[in-house]
């Protein structure tokens, strides 16, 4: 599974591909963050940055919604810092007493880690460093997605969450089966049949990451008593190029206690030899640029043409490396 990738987060990059920003969808997504307080968790920095310098009234409205979400998210972090600081002080007092406890040791460790994480989030908020338009995307986060406007057929850029909620699913179903950020090519006729041939999208990435077993990466079997250790491996195409990843999407209608939102999954295939050799059993499908128009305008009556596109990805060798921590 492609569990993370570096993708275009700046929607203006998608405008190069003829996409028009769905201002309303972006505003709604950011307004929802005002109530959830999770702006910094689910909307990467590179996706927020373009709205800091709005070009028109619509983008200014999005900027205002984002500022409200900033205030809400910052308050959540500050409340977390206060709560964990209080927890740490109490734990240290118990540990300094004649009767220290295991619970106090645990509380001190957990509080220290959570304080560090909260401060790191605040530093990211306050940082003046600018991104290059790319951002690391994780399941559950939002990213710009290029789709066709169902009403006009024109290319449209929407904010979509990287984990697709399948038709008929509730939030509870999704929590029970959280792996729908990827759509297996061999399941398009079954699990994904209500989206494949109907709702196709594209997201642009320059590299992707997988979690693989260390012993598989090293081409060996586990030795007796050795536990399975997972390591992160980064894959990049050679020759280097921007990858147009094939996606399926769905718009989730508003429900009680939850806003409406777009969601999507990246389609994966069996791995080419070099990816398999690196210890992983799936690979993204990077479309050839000449196939994008056809991919975004599928005909459910001619799915064979869509499979032909997926069977004809870019000609690239995926080099791998273990990133420095």
Q: List all residues 6 or more positions away from 120 whose beta carbon is below 8 Å from its beta carbon.
A: none
Residues in the chain: 325
3-state class (DSSP) for residue 111? helix
Helix axes 23-36, 57-95, angle to 10 degrees: 20
Q: What's residue 127's pLDDT?
A: 72
Q: At residue 2, does pLDDT exceed 80?
A: no
Query: Where does residue 273 rank: exposed (0-12), middle (13-18), buried (19+ CB within 10 A)?
Result: exposed
Q: What is the mean pLDDT of the chain?
A: 93
DSSP conformational letter for 297? S
3-state class (DSSP) for residue 87? helix
Q: Which has the closest alpha carbon to 125: 192, 45, 185?
A: 45
Contact 193, 178 (CB under 8 A): no
DSSP conformational letter for 258? B
Contact 198, 250 (CB under 8 A): no
Q: Using DSSP, how many helices (H) and how many strands (E) does the chain show?
A: 11, 13
- pLDDT tens, position by position, 99-145: 999 999 999 999 999 999 889 888 877 776 677 889 999 999 999 99
- pLDDT tens, position by position, 141-189: 999 999 999 889 999 999 999 999 999 999 999 999 999 999 999 999 9
- Residues 207 and 234: their CA atoms lie apart, in Å, by 7
- pLDDT tens, position by position, 222-239: 999 999 999 999 999 999
- Mean pLDDT for the stretch of residues 75-98: 93
- Mean pLDDT for the stretch of residues 34-43: 89
Contact 43, 141 (CB under 8 A): yes
Q: At residue 325, does pLDDT exceed 80?
A: no
Full set of structural domains in the chain with CATH: 4-23+133-321 (3.90.1680.10)
- Residues 248 and 99: their CA atoms lie apart, in Å, by 58
* Global model pTM greater than 0.85: yes
Query: Where does residue 218 rank: exposed (0-12), middle (13-18), buried (19+ CB within 10 A)?
Result: exposed
Backbone angles phi, psi at 234, to 5 degrees: -100, 135
- Residues 304 and 91: their CA atoms lie apart, in Å, by 63
């Amino acid at each position: 599974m492609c569990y993370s990738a570096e993708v275009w987060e700046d929607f203006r990059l998608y405008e190069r591909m003829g996409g028009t920003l769905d201002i309303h969808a972006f505003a709604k997504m950011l307004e929802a963050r005002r109530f959830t307080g999770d702006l910094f968790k689910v909307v990467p920095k590179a996706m927020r940055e373009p709205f800091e310098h709005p070009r028109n009234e619509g983008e200014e409205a999005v900027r205002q919604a984002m500022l409200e979400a900033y205030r809400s998210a910052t308050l959540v972090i500050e409340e977390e810092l206060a709560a964990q600081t209080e927890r740490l002080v109490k734990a240290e007092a118990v540990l300094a007493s004649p009767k220290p406890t295991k619970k106090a040791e645990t509380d001190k460790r957990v509080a220290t880690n959570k304080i560090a994480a909260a401060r790191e989030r605040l530093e990211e908020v306050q940082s003046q460093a600018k991104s290059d338009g790319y951002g690391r995307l994780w399941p559950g986060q939002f990213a710009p997605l290029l789709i066709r406007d169902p009403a006009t057929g024109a290319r449209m850029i929407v904010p979509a969450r990287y984990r697709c909620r399948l038709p008929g699913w509730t939030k509870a179903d999704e929590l029970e089966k959280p792996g729908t950020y990827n759509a297996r090519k061999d399941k398009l006729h079954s699990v994904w049949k209500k989206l494949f041939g109907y709702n196709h999208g594209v997201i642009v990435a320059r590299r992707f990451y997988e979690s693989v077993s260390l012993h598989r990466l090293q081409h060996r079997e586990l030795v007796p008593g050795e536990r399975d250790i997972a390591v992160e491996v980064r894959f990049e195409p050679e020759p280097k190029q921007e990858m147009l990843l094939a996606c399926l999407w769905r718009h989730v209608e508003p429900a009680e206690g939850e806003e409406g939102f777009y969601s999507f999954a990246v389609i994966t295939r069996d791995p080419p030899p070099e990816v398999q050799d690196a210890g992983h059993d799936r690979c993204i499908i990077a479309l050839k640029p000449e196939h994008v128009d056809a991919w975004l305008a599928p005909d459910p009556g001619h799915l064979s043409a869509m499979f032909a596109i997926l069977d004809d990805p870019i000609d690239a060798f995926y080099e791998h490396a273990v990133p420095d921590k």
